[in-house]
Amino acid sequence: MNKYKYIALILVTTFVMGVAFPVGKVGLDYSTPFFLMGIRFALAGGILALIVRKKPRPSSLKMWGQAGLIGLLQSAGVMGCAYYSMHWISSGESSIITCTNPLLVIVLGTFLTGVKYRGRQWLGVALGFIGVVVTFGLQLNFQAGMLIGFLGAIFFAASTLLIKQWGASFDMMVLAAYQMLAGGIVLLLLGAVTEHPHFTFTSKSVVVLLWLVIMGSIVQFSLWFYLLRSGDPAKTSAFLFLVPVFGLLSSWLLLGEKVAWYVGLGGAFICVGIFLVNWEGKAGSGERLVRAR
Find the mean pLDDT for residues 256-270. 73
The CA-atom distances, in angstroms, between 64 and each of 17, 68, 166 are 26, 6, 11
Q: Which domain holds residue 130?
A: 3-291
From the number of C-beta atoms within 10 Å of its C-beta (0-12, 13-18, 19+), residue 215 rates as: middle
Most confident range (mean pLDDT) of 28-32, 118-122, 228-232 is 28-32
Could you tell me what percent of the chain has a pLDDT over 90?
31
Has residue 139 got a pLDDT over 70? no
| Confidence band of 261 (pLDDT split at 50, 70, 90) | confident
Distance CA 293, CA 288 (A): 16
* Host H or E run for residue 291: strand 289-291
Find the mean pLDDT for residues 53-79. 92
| Confidence band of 27 (pLDDT split at 50, 70, 90) | very high
| Residue 293 CB-half CA count within 13 A | 0
Find the mean pLDDT for residues 201-218. 94
- Per the rule left: phi > 0, alpha: psi between -120 and 50, beta: everything else, 290 is beta
In eight-state DSSP terms, residue 30 is T
What pLDDT is attached to residue 293? Answer: 32
What pLDDT is attached to residue 235? Answer: 74
Has residue 159 got a pLDDT over 60? yes
Has residue 164 got a pLDDT over 70? yes
> Considering the chain, what is the average pLDDT of its residues?
82
The tally of domains found in the chain comes to: 1
pLDDT tens sequence across 179-195: 999 999 999 999 999 98
What pLDDT is attached to residue 290? Answer: 37
The CA-atom distances, in angstroms, between 34 and each of 53, 75, 159, 201 are 27, 11, 19, 17
| Confidence band of 132 (pLDDT split at 50, 70, 90) | confident
Has residue 114 got a pLDDT over 70? no
Find the mean pLDDT for residues 26-48. 93
Distance CA 15, CA 228 (A): 17
Has residue 48 got a pLDDT over 90? yes
> Is 92:245 a contact under the CB 8 Å cutoff?
no
